[in-house]
Amino acid sequence: MFKLLISLLIITFSYADEPIVPIPLNEPVNVEKAKLGKELFFDPALSRDNSTACVNCHNIYNGGADERIVSEGFNGAKGNIQSPTVLNARYNFKQFWNGRASNLLEQANGPLTNPAEHNMDSQKVELRVNSSEKYKKSFQAVYGVSYIKYALVLDAIVEFENALTTPNSKFDRYLRSQEELSKQEKEGYTLFKQYGCITCHNGINVGGNSFQKMGTFIAYNTNKKFPDKAAISNDERDINVFKVPTLRNISLTAPYFHDGSAKTLKEALTAMSKHNLGIKLSDEETAKIIAFLETLTGQRPKILDLF
Do 210 and 265 sit in the same domain of this protein? yes
Q: Is residue 22 part of a domain?
A: no
Q: How many domains does one find in the chain?
A: 2
In a domain, 20, yes or no: no
pLDDT of residue 2: 46
- 4-46 pLDDT, tens per residue? 455 445 544 455 589 999 999 989 999 999 999 999 999 999 9
The verdict on 91 and 138 lying in the same domain is yes
For residue 20, the SS3 value is strand
Name the domain boundary from 111, 135, 165.
165
Q: Which residues of the chain have pLDDT under 70?
A: 1-16, 222-223, 307
**Boundaries of domain holding 181:** 170-294
Q: pTM for the full model?
A: 0.92
**pLDDT at res. 307:** 67
Using alpha carbons only, what angle is made at residue 126 by residues 93 and 31, rounded to the nearest 5 degrees?
50
Is residue 35 one of the residues assigned to a domain? yes
Question: 212 phi and psi, to 5 degrees?
Answer: -150, 145
DSSP structure class, residue 275: I
151 shares a domain with 190: no
User: Shortest CA distance to 243 belongs to which of 89, 82, 92, 59?
Assistant: 92
Q: Mark whether 154 and 174 lie in a shared domain.
A: no
Asked if residue 160 belongs to a domain, the reply is yes
Domain assignment present for 14: no
Is 123 in the same domain as 253? Answer: no
Same structural domain, 220 and 187: yes
C-alpha angle 147-153-154 in degrees, rounded to nearest 5 = 145
Domain stop point among 117, 142, 165 = 165
Residues classed as catalytic: 117
Query: Does one domain contain both 127 and 161?
Result: yes
CATH value at residue 220: 1.10.760.10
Is residue 72 within 8 Å of residue 192, measured between CB atoms?
Answer: no
- Closest of 15, 21, 19, 86 to residue 57, by C-alpha: 86
Same domain for 96 and 217?
A: no
Tell me, yes or no, whether 201 and 143 share the same domain.
Answer: no
Q: What's the pLDDT at 224?
A: 75
Q: Are residues 226 and 188 in the same domain?
A: yes
Quote the strand ranges of the chain, DSSP E: 211-213, 241-243
